[in-house]
Structure 1
Amino acid sequence: MPSTSPRNSAPTSPRALASPKEVADYLGVPVPTLYQWKYRGIGPQVHKVGKHLRYRWVEVDAWLDRDMDLAS
Structure 2
Amino acid sequence: MADELLVPRQVHAEYGFSPQTLANWRWTGAGPDYIKTTPGKGGRIKYRRSAIEAWLQTRTVQAGGAAA
TM-score, reference length from structure 1: 0.69
Q: Give, in whole Å, the separation in 2 of the partners of 1:69 and 1:38.
A: 23
The unaligned stretches of length 5 or more in structure 1 are: 1-11
RMSD over equivalenced CA pairs, Å = 2.3
The unaligned stretches of length 5 or more in structure 2 are: none
1:53 paired residue among 45, 53, 59 = 45
Deviations 1:9-64 (A, max 9, x none): xxx6x561110111122221221000001111111101111331000001110001
Match of 2:27? 39
1:28 paired residue among 9, 16, 20 = 16
Name the larger-Rg structure: 2
Q: When the two structures are aligned, how many residues end up with a matched partner?
A: 60
Partners of 2:25 and 2:31 within 8 A in 1 = yes
